């Protein structure tokens, strides 16, 4: 299993647009056969900071996700909404 933690700091004034834009990404990702879980969390201290925590069956499932239309659509919108971000990938030790 692979866990991905993707942090996003949303641009000022773009919070609602960000939340709307990620809805199809979340729904599409959860429907993928290799997805175990896909959730978005909001930082309790900063309403502009969000974190996706995703769990995938294996590397092939991640590759299929990265090639999906909902992921491509999100990536096309992301630069207009997100000021900065960082992605970490983990495997169980």
Q: Three-state DSSP class for 19?
A: helix
Euclidean distance between CA atoms 2 and 82, whole angstroms: 24
Domain that holds residue 76: 2-91
Euclidean distance between CA atoms 35 and 45, whole angstroms: 29
Contacts for 58 with CB less than 8 Å, ≥ 6 apart? 1, 2, 34
Dihedral sign from CA coordinates of 89, 81, 79, 29: positive
> Per the structure, how many domains does the chain have?
1
pLDDT at 42: 97
- Output the pTM of the full model: 0.94
Question: Tens digit of pLDDT for each residue in 26-69?
Answer: 999 999 999 999 999 999 999 999 999 999 999 999 999 999 99
Give the CATH number for residue 52.
Answer: 3.30.70.100
């Amino acid at each position: 299993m692979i866990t991905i933690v993707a942090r996003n700091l949303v641009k000022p004034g773009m919070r609602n647009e960000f939340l709307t834009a990620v809805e199809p990404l979340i729904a599409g990702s959860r429907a993928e056969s290799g997805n175990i879980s896909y959730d978005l969390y909001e930082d309790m201290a900063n309403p502009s900071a969000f974190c996706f925590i995703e769990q995938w069956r294996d590397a092939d499932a991640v590759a299929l996700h990265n090639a999906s239309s909902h992921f491509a659509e999100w990536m096309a919108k992301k630069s207009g909404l997100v000021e900065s971000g960082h992605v970490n990938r983990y495997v169980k030790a």
